Structure 1
Amino acid sequence: MADAHPHPDDDAPPVRIPIDGVLDLHTFRPSEVKDLVPDYLAACRERGIASVRIIHGKGTGALRDTVHAVLRRTPGVLGFAVADAGGGGWGATIVDLVPREKQATPLRASTPRPLL
């Protein structure tokens, strides 16, 4: 589980979010999404969860657009799409994550090869 503050101005203690592949954004403010989504996805990858459902609701689509913008620039995201009708339709997004073991490793400094 991860700690999150659904409303940081409140004096309430942080809420424990289960890292189970489903993130419901209904209890969070839109301003929190930009940090929350990448952190949650990183926690899922650490646990070997390769597919995540983010529930953003249907509404006007503004939160969905924000989530999609965040996903486009989040490392470790293989792809994403609006969920099918059984998964929430356009009120949810399914995210496919790069498996943890497939993550690119940093290049190591090596001795240059002699030119032939």
Structure 2
Amino acid sequence: MAAQFCPTCANLLVIEIGRGSSAAFRCRTCPYVYKIREKLSNKQVVIRKEVDDVLGGSEAWKDVEQCDAHCPKCAHSRAYFRQMQTRSADEPMTTFYRCTQCGHNWKED
């Protein structure tokens, strides 16, 4: 695979698509051009984590308080809740809920 940086001036190379099927990496600063002769592709499957894993697993929901909150999945009126600082300190905390009946998780920013 070709370098992503110019060997002459070390700037980032950009992809330039030409007429037909020609393509090249081109430097915006100097006249360096690297012609692409073969098609390269890379596909990576990302496995999504469950919400419980991100929030600390089932242990994180142990001994949490309950409140009146309507579950968007089953419309039950009670849920467990936790608050976490997920953004910068000057932003409000995010409240995570778990339905006491069906176990559905949702959040409120």
Q: Same fold (TM over 0.5)?
A: no
Q: Which has the higher contact order (CA 8 A, sep 6+)?
A: 1
- Computing the radius of gyration from Cα coordinates, the structure with the larger value is 2
Q: Which structure: greater strand fraction?
A: 2
Q: Which structure: greater helix fraction?
A: 1
User: Where on the TM-score scale, by shorter chain, does this alignment land: which range?
Assistant: under 0.3
Q: TM-score, normalised by structure 1?
A: 0.22
Q: TM-score, normalised by structure 2?
A: 0.23
